Amino acid sequence: MPQLTWLSIAVLLFAACEPTAALDVGASTPALRRGDDYGKRSHVRKRRHHRLECRETTPQGAASCGFQDYIDGLSGAPANFAWFDPRAPGVAYAHAGGIVWRSTDGAASWSPLAEANNVLIDLEPDGADPNDLIAATLSGVQVSTNAGASWRPLALQGVVVDALEISPSEPQRLYATLELGPLLVSRDRGGRWEAASTNYPRGKTFQLSVDPRDAQNLLATLLFYVPNTRTPADAGAIYRTTDGGVTWLPVYEPGVSVLSLQRCAANPDVLIAGTPFGVARSVDNGATWTSIPIPPNPSGIHALAINPQDCDDFYALQANAGPLHTRDAGQTFQLPLMEGLQVMRTGGFPGTMSIDPADPAHLILATHNGFYTSRDSGDHWTLLPAMMHMNVAALGVSSSAPSRAWLVTWGQGVWTRDGASSPWQRVGLERLARDYAASISFDDQHGRVFIGANNALLSRDGQTFQELATRGLAFDAAFDPTDPALIYVATQVFGLYKSEDGGQTWRTSNGAIQPWGPAPGSIDVRAVELNPDNPQQVFIATNANGIHRSDDRGQTWTQVLASPHYGGCLLAVPDAPLRLYACLNGVVSSSDAGDTWTTLNDGLDSLWVGQLAHDAATGHLYASTSSGVYVLRRGESRWELLDESCPTPGATLAIMEEAGQRYLLVGAEHAVKRFAL
């Protein structure tokens, strides 16, 4: 049964968003002085690693659209699950990035179906007809009668359904668990629901497994919660009922959460379960269990897959290692099966795995980097190229190489492209050891490239990246134009880091800035800029703590604009005088080093602004927003939608040049688009 692992849930939480409605703020808005508050904004966004809006807009009038796909060579998606349909040979389903995909040729090629109205948590066959599917979602149970092409609500609308199970021996009986709620049962295919019992344990249900021969026999894996709270207790168990959910007994209590549960199709009495410490196995329909530690690192089994023809043959997806394989019921493991996988072995590693019932050597592995397939029992993996729904985090172009574009993603690695004649190519993990990255910055004078991630990375040749001795998630970097040894890095939790030896050593440079958030020392800095005419002057934008300026290279700081809102980006344009722009509940600007600020929101239909880009050739300013990309032409005061024929919501921008033509790159619709300027 497919499920969302904790890693998939984390990715979804990272992407969760809803733009703030635009406010009626025109060009007549008065100037703002330091300390002024100028509006309200409750939705946090991030600079240079912005995720696209959850609410996607399909371009209208695509034939005349100036925004063109710029995606050749790209592949990847936050893959939640994939499985082969046992009712129809060659048919497989997958879910990634809110889209349900279907294959009719044994996973060789895939077609996207209608986008799900709600995020799917579980997708199951619904009876014997291959056209019938049923899904648990973040808002109830949905069904499809045309193989996933369209969906309609069935029951429990408006509530999160954690797990869903259909009884093969009694198809009218459905089991479902709500978020932290009871086990519900329906005996009429979802028309009417009731609590199965009053003693179902309180917690999050990861999976349900019903005996296909007996609808009354059901197993549930649970993560307990602290009583009267929504806080996980870091403990769980497997519970069993033999009377349709009326009474429950714990049958396996490892003292930690039970993350996954699989039943063998060849013998339903055989089950395996995954825990943070290994695997447990039952051969008596879940009544008793035997623990199987996995050497050499017995940790983190987040998902499992059993050969439907051989119950002793199964796979375990282990954190910090990768897919493990046993053919002797866990006595020995072949580990790890990594050849061909561009996925870092950290954290919660992959999502789920499915085995083709017609060919047990044929596998699909769902990861945050996309879907991989193997035809030789996991010895070799190939990324499925057609299934793309990337989490675009940042785009970048260096002025020293204006035709080379960089793409940074959250979970799908870092990519480069040398013009339209070359496809995108991923920077291999052997050269840049991150698949989750947040930002990119350039030191054009010295050819250095900075990638913001958990513990940031720096390249001095644009090829191989070295980890810096900073801490936390890095959102931005700035390089002193007069001193190549001086570098600043903005981080989410530890504030501003400073290096005076070219990145060899680092120290925080926060002065007396008051921390944002409840954690001591949590200074949420999202952007940093230097005054190119006066590098002693440093500016930072923060989350809910306004904009600050230092006149002594970060030793002391003055708050030049107070705000409880999110400061998503900073841009320093070297006009005379220097012009500062910031994404702060729309756009604000200053021409006196931050002493006074003016709002520039006239014409914007959305005050969620992801990033700003300045075109040095024309002086125009571009803004990516949740309602489209806007341009503020030099000398004007009102924003205009860049292409009214197809408004393109976006989050990140970059300007590139190729063969004398300049283009605006936009991170839009979970991919990249290009607009000729």
pLDDT at 294: 79
Predicted structure pTM score = 0.85
Q: How confident is the model at residue 229 (pLDDT cuts 50, 70, 90)?
A: low
**Does one domain contain both 592 and 517?**
yes
Q: State the SS3 of 605-659.
A: CECCEEEEEECCCCCCEEEEECCEEEEECCCCCCCEECCCCCCCCCCEEEEEEEC
- Distance in angstroms (rounded) separating the CA atoms of residues 111 and 91: 12
Q: Which of 305, 356, 358 is nearest to 84 (CA)?
A: 356
527, with CB counted inside 10 A (0-12, 13-18, 19+), is buried
- The answer on 375 and 404 residing in a single domain is no
641 contact partners, CB below 8 Å, separation of at least 6: 605, 628, 629, 630, 647
Mean pLDDT of 607-629: 95
Residue 353 lies in a domain: yes
**Cβ-Cβ contacts under 8 Å for 421 (sequence gap 6 or more):** none
Residue 675 has pLDDT above 80, yes or no: yes
Instruction: Specify the pLDDT at position 288.
Output: 97
Two tokens at 374? Answer: 């193997």
Q: What is the mean pLDDT of residues 374-379?
A: 96
Place of tokens 């030896």: 501
pLDDT for 150:
87
- Examine the domain organization and report whether 672 and 533 are in the same domain: yes
Q: How many domains does the chain have?
A: 2
Mean pLDDT lowest for which of 10-14, 106-110, 596-600?
10-14
Q: Are residues 293 and 426 in the same domain?
A: no
Q: Are residues 105 and 50 in the same domain?
A: no
Q: Is residue 246 part of a domain?
A: yes
pLDDT digits (tens, 9 = 90+) for 155-191: 998 888 989 999 999 989 999 998 777 899 999 988 8
Least reliable range by pLDDT among 54-68, 97-111, 468-482, 592-606: 54-68
Tell me the C-alpha distance between 584 and 40, whole Å.
10
pLDDT at 390 over 80: yes
At 470-517, the pLDDT tens digits run 999 999 999 999 999 999 999 998 999 999 999 999 999 999 887 776
Helix (H, G, I), strand (E, B) or coil at 14: helix
CB neighbours of 108 closer than 8 A, spacing ≥ 6?
Answer: none
| Claim to verify: residue 467 and residue 376 sit in the same structural domain | no
User: Left, alpha or beta for 150 (phi > 0: left; psi -120 to 50: alpha)?
Assistant: beta
pLDDT digits (tens, 9 = 90+) for 541-556: 999 899 999 999 999 9
- Are 377 and 417 in the same domain? no
Q: Looking at residue 334, what is its pLDDT?
A: 87
The confidence band for 29, taking pLDDT boundaries of 50, 70 and 90, is very low
What CA–CA distances, in Å, run from 167 to 125, 335, 553? 11, 35, 67
Note whether residue 1 is domain-resident: no
Q: Which amino acid is at 28?
A: S
The residue out of 383, 399, 422 marking a domain boundary is 383
Helix or strand run (H / E) with residue 291: strand 290-293
pLDDT of residue 26: 27
What pLDDT, in 10s, does the model give residues 116-136? Answer: 556 788 888 998 999 999 988
- Give residue 519's pLDDT: 67
For residue 196, the model assigns a pLDDT of 87
pLDDT, average across residues 644-660: 92
pLDDT at 114 over 80: no
- Structural domain boundaries enclosing 483: 6-69+390-676
Per mean pLDDT, which of 171-180, 219-228, 523-532 is the most reliable? 523-532
Q: Quote the CA–CA distance of 217 and 197 in Å, as a whole number.
A: 14
Instruction: Looking at the structure, tell me whether residues 408 and 360 fall in a common domain.
Output: no
Q: Are 547 and 572 in contact (CB under 8 A)?
A: no
**Together in a domain, 11 and 149:** no
Rounded alpha-carbon distances, angstroms, from residue 557 to 148, 492, 510, 536: 56, 18, 8, 12
Any domain includes 559: yes
Same domain, 604 and 455: yes
pLDDT at position 49 is: 28
pLDDT of residue 19: 27
Residue 74 maps to a domain: no
Residue pointed to by tokens 């200053």: 590
**Model pLDDT for residues 322-368, shown as the tens digit of each residue:** 899 999 999 999 878 999 988 887 655 667 899 999 999 999 999 98
Mean pLDDT value across residues 210-215: 96
With a cut of 60, say whether residue 465 has pLDDT above it.
yes
**Residue 52 has what pLDDT?**
22
Looking at 383, 402, 437, the residue that finishes a domain is 383
Residue 300 shares a structural domain with residue 267: yes
Average pLDDT over residues 234-246: 90
Say if 304 falls within a structural domain. yes
Mean pLDDT of the chain: 85
At 47 the pLDDT is 27
Assign residue 352 the CATH number of its domain: 2.130.10.10
Across-strand partners of 415? 407, 426
pLDDT at 392 over 80: yes
> Which tokens hold the place of 573?
């344009």
Dist. CA 435–CA 368, nearest whole Å:
9
60 and 95, same domain (yes or no): no
164 assigned to some structural domain: yes
Domain boundary among the residues 326, 360, 383 is at 383
Q: What is the identity of the amino acid at 407?
A: L
| Percent above pLDDT 70 for the chain | 86
The rounded distance, in Å, linking the Cα atoms of 540 and 555 is: 13
Q: What is the pLDDT of residue 393?
A: 95
> Residues 522, 526, 530, CA angle at the centre, nearest 5°?
115
Return d(Cα 285, Cα 181) in angstroms, integer. 25
- What's the order of all strands across the beta sheet hosting 79-84? 79-84, 92-96, 99-103, 111-115
DSSP 64: G
Asked if residue 265 has pLDDT above 50, the reply is yes
